[in-house]
Structures are given as C-alpha cells and as structure tokens.
Amino acid sequence: MKITFLIGNVYGMGGTIRTTTNLANNLVKRHDVEIVSMAQNAHEPFFQISPEVRLRSLAHNRSWADRPDPGPRARELELQPSGNVPASENNLHSFFNAHSDAVLRDYLSKLDSDVVIATRPGLNSLLAQWGPKKAVCIGQEHLNLGQQPDDVKEHIRAHHTRLDGLTVLTDSDRRDYTDFLGKDGGWVTTMPNPLPDGFHARSRLTNPIIATAGRLIWVKQYPKLVEAFASVADKHPEWQLRIYGRGIERAGIRAAVDRLGLNNNVVLMGRNPDITSEFAKASVVAVSSRQEGFGMTILESFAASVPVVSFDCPYGPRELITHGHDGLLVADQDVDALAAGLLRLVEDADERRRLGGNARDKAAAFHIDSVTERWEAYLSRLVAEKRRAGGLRRFLPWS
C-alpha cells in the first residue's frame, strides 16, 4: 500500500509533526510511505524519520536563510494568500499561500498513492478539493471542534465531507464532529496519537522535579503553572519546575518567574526531541493548558511512570487521566486547585509511586504497534469500500 502524508512543515517541532513521523516510521515497515511537506525551514527534520520514509518538500520558508532561490514567479505568488483555505489558516501559517496552492495542486494531480492523509484543517480542505479521485483521501483533526476558528468550522462543513474519512483524537471529538457534520456510519473515527517505539526510561519518582513540555504559546498557560508552582516552592524550596519547549511566550513566562521570585526554582529548558527521557528525571508532570486536543505530554509522562496533575480542560486530559488512579484532574482554570494537586503529590511519595505504576500500565495501550494496527484496519476498510464503489485506482494487499 502506498501512503502519502501531507503536512505543513515536517522540519519543525510540534505535536502533529511528532505523531505523524512516529506513525510513518512504523507504517513503513509494511508499506510504501512518503511525507510531503508544504514547506521546509531546515536542512534536517527535528524529529528522527526512518530512512525508508521518503521526504519531499514542495516549497521553502521565506525566512529560511539557506533556502534555494524559488524564482521570480514563485517569489511573487508566495506573497499572496491562499484562496482555498480559511483566512485564519493563511494568517497562522506562512506555508499556505498562492505558490503553495499551485505546487500542491500540481503534485496531487500526478500522485499515484493508494491513500493520502492530510494533517490539519487547511490541508484537509485542499485535499478535499484537489485530492486524487481514485485514492482514499483522509483528513486528520488534531484540535477539538471548540478550538477551531469560525472560518475553519465553515470550511470543515463546506469541504471536508468530500473526503473519504476524518480522524480525531478522542471519543468526545468524534461525537462533536459527527454531530456538527451530520455524518455517521463511522465516517468520523477516533484515532489516538501513538507512543513511539523504543525503550522508555522509568522514573524513580524521587527527584524533586516537576516537569512540563510543549510549545511556549498562550494556550499552554505556563504563567499560570508558574503561579501554581509558587505554592510548592514556598513550602518545599528544594523542588524545581522544568519547562521544556520554545515559543513566543517565553518572555511572558520569564516575567512571571521574576515577579514571583522563582529564578532559583524554575528553569526554561528549551526543546528536546526525547521528552520521555526528560520526564523520567521528574517525579510529577503538570498540564496547565486551556485546551488540549489529545495531550501527548500526558502519554509521554505515563510512559515514564510519572503521574500527571492537570486542569480538567477539554478534551484530552479527561480521556487519558483517571483521577486518583494514574493522575489528578483539578478544577479547570483554578490555579489554587492546580497548586493543591501538585502539593498533594509532592508531599505523598507513596501516592506518587501508586499513580506512577498505574500510569505506566495505561501507556501500554497506546504503544505505536497497537495504534498502527488500528490505522491499518481503518485504511483496509476504506480501501475495500472504495474498491466496491469502483473508485480505487488499484489495490495492493497488506503484506
């Protein structure tokens, strides 16, 4: 089976990039897999990609100092917005523009893949409009419906139902998208993010460290986490908060640290591709997000046997964390409740160990092999349906 993933910029860092590369790395063991990146801003991807997975970049970021000269026509077009994705997608991501529209449409017109999987709303819209008619075309949503801007929702309703299927990260998302689109019969399917293959170090749960990870953006609300951690540092000054990631909110986080006098306790660690190993150095992981599409941080923490304290925000945390069993869910956006949850696990080593052991057991269900099997069963069903309808170009049986 030949499978193509469409992604915005596979050379960057982010949850969608990480989970797409993890899945591609495992699928390529039995299938012909390529990742097509709308843009490129580095010589090598941040996350490790199997040499068996083919990489193709359709364009290069304008801000990349080493990018090849695209030519005068491309330079002119890349300054114009895409006319085929929602305006908010144009505003948020520079890889959507008139030039990328042209090169993607041309690429899709010649594509001979059996399955094409797009990985964000704008790409889902483009695939719905221009995808190969004889391929199975699938969209992925990594955000819950409530996180989508209004113009994206309009595009989802107008275009995405032309796809052969849509995958979402949680059962709550599946219900919301199914109701919103009026599509049933399994057209919207829950497909959780996988844990990558390999050894996952196990925390001893004795280091006085609370950790968190993700892009330093407003939705992660790290200043609120710093504020909650202040209560821990006040009673237990030997404890440290480590924040992994990069992003535009770094200055705001640093300002909160300075304001609360926590310069000796809070460390901005930068980004790290092996975050599970970093979590294995911690005893608690914290999630302070306003919203979470899935909560890969939670799953990576569980793989390291580390319990999580999280706001009970929509939707991921409540579908991964069983309160009092493998972590703690606290009142959404209540900084005092988050502080109390952190203090509870800081001060109770026995509970940390009990929750951490249960967390490790839960992580096993999300191993990459299990999730890949779900994907293969899903793709097999869609391919068979398209074959029966006479629309599939060809069919290669699972090897």
- Statement to judge: residues 304 and 377 lie in one domain: no
The pLDDT tens digits for 127-164 are 999 999 989 999 999 888 888 999 999 999 999 999 99
Segment 207-227 mean pLDDT: 96
Find the domain containing 33 and state its range: 2-196+368-388
| 318 found inside a domain | yes
Q: Is residue 398 part of a domain?
A: no
356 and 373 in a single domain? The answer is: no
- Is 399 inside any structural domain? no
Q: Which residue has the tokens 């029966």?
A: 388
Cβ atoms of 88 and 149 closer than 8 Å? yes
Mark whether 109 and 215 lie in a shared domain.
Answer: no
Distances (CA, A) of 273 to 34, 249, 268: 21, 20, 15
> Span 283-310, mean pLDDT?
94
Q: Which two tokens stand for residue 139?
A: 């969209």
Q: Domain check: are 72 and 192 in the same one?
A: yes
Pick the most confident of 39-48, 80-89, 198-207, 225-234: 225-234
pTM over cut 0.95: no
For residue 391, the model assigns a pLDDT of 56
**Cα-based angle 221, 244, 300 (whole degrees, multiple of 5):** 95
Residues 266 and 157 in one domain: no
- Please tell me whether residues 167 and 301 are part of one structural domain: no
Same domain, 132 and 271: no
Residue 178 three-state SS: helix
Residue pLDDT, tens place only, 371-396? 999 999 999 999 988 888 775 544 44
**What pLDDT, on the 0 to 100 scale, is given for residue 395?**
44
Instruction: Indicate whether 93 and 55 sit together in one domain.
Output: yes
Structure confidence at residue 185 (pLDDT): 75
Alpha-carbon distance of 296 to 320, in angstroms, equals 10
Residue 279 and residue 381 in one domain: no
Q: How many domains does the chain have?
A: 2
Rounded Cα distance between 99 and 244, Å, is 34
Instruction: Answer yes or no: do 177 and 222 share one domain.
Output: no
Q: Are residues 120 and 218 in the same domain?
A: no
User: Is residue 186 assigned to a domain?
Assistant: yes
- For the segment 90-134, what is each residue's pLDDT rounded down to a tens digit? 887 888 999 999 999 999 999 999 999 999 999 999 999 999 998
pLDDT of residue 396: 46
Query: Does 204 map to a domain?
Result: no
Q: Is 200 helix (H, G, I), strand (E, B) or coil?
A: coil
Identify the CATH number of the domain in which residue 355 sits: 3.40.50.2000
* Within a domain: 32: yes
Residue 58 lies in a domain: yes
Query: Are 36 and 143 found together in one domain?
Result: yes
